[in-house]
Structure 1
């Protein structure tokens, strides 16, 4: 049995595709939501047109025993609290984080939080260019599975691959999780550029300079350059910076248009921007794109001011 903790759109989508491989237990934080999904066989709140296969059982409350692997599909800023609350039940699992970002309280990524809270567990992360709806509908998707323990990574890759979900593995958990975290920050900026009507050339420039910052930051933390060039870095950046299916991109569009954004939707890049900038300052890294986007998110700058700040920087070699 595979256990997926988190019944949002992505957790549900993973449950739907992994049900092809065997029984899946999908844990929901909200008991009413779990009962509704189990009875109606659909996640009406997040994926209303995708039926749940019979191999999926939806529960809430205590975590079940006997799962052969566990996926953590919840927002980054709630992961730490969940691990603290359930560490006794999770301690000896291979725990696969399915969230992207950096924890504001600790500055850690998903695998770092797992290692800190559940020291007997084996941390891993599943990340890359993907939208929940595409996975749930069985559209071809390729992701990165990162685990520092090579043997566990190979076993997880085999268990989590389906006919339409192809996984590539790496032992570089730092690079994989930073690629997924940092691209959300750049996606907010790209959305703001397009929302403000600054054009696709400006978006391409921001993506490119943002990608350079991703490399700079990840290298300083020990990531391998080739990881950032792969699915979990460049691939995810391209998808998230160009599609309105991305919440981070849509949030940026709202900033660019000066409009409010749906407060019920999780925008991982907003918190991650602040966490990354704090870490970059501590490392004395120059990250002007991240600095400008953070100022947008916190309301310190408007889009026109952020553009002026970036364009007025001293000229330099690429």
Structure 2
């Protein structure tokens, strides 16, 4: 999936378009090795909002990409252009991974790529997507949906979450975190989080969890409990849970487990420590416990994950 093509045409939303460009066009500082071969593909000069773009290639080049990203489509009341729909369908038939950001899901649905699949889009348009394409299982309550070869995201910030998810799949957690640091965004929000996350990252100075979260991240090797977190935050466990749901869209225990898994991913990618040592360093206790949670969360074993991201064969770039 080393080649990424951004499929554009008149009427695309410039925010999602620029977001994909920022993530995939150039590697963050300090990341060694080749980055994605990124290309913008469209039918001649394209207008996105007030911006006029000059694509690198025509839409006929989409089938040569490993990943095709379709940004948000501005006028969801209108059918997307037939040439874009046809090109996206051809790319999927050629084996490309198709990704829609925000209302780009309407393009994938028009191409028939979401039939029988779970998908999402911006919460304001989920009803319209479900009504127009009843064969699509529209989930209005998640940030993004990964079906393997077809992925969809909700709007705006959720599009960034999906782009970072793709980098994490392709390059590993540490590289995705480097991209997030460059863009000054949260490194990971799980796709299953609710779209209505009013405070994805607690405000540094005044949020009730502002001091607690860094404290926890420095102590992931310890057997922390929800009661430990509540005591540190000087609030009841129930009140702590309420603040976590508002800030992170999840429970304190699930957030803690996610941080342990993320730390384990980084250690597997960047060190030669044994699974037993990593289990201890991430507060999992035993290798058995780490393997169980790792498999359930990521769908692979820690050993398989390490083999993938420490010695991963690379595909030949195809879009030039």
Q: Normalising to structure 1: TM-score of the pair?
A: 0.29
Q: In proportion to residue count, which structure has more helix?
A: 1
Q: Normalising to structure 2: TM-score of the pair?
A: 0.29
| Structure whose alpha-carbon radius of gyration is higher | 2
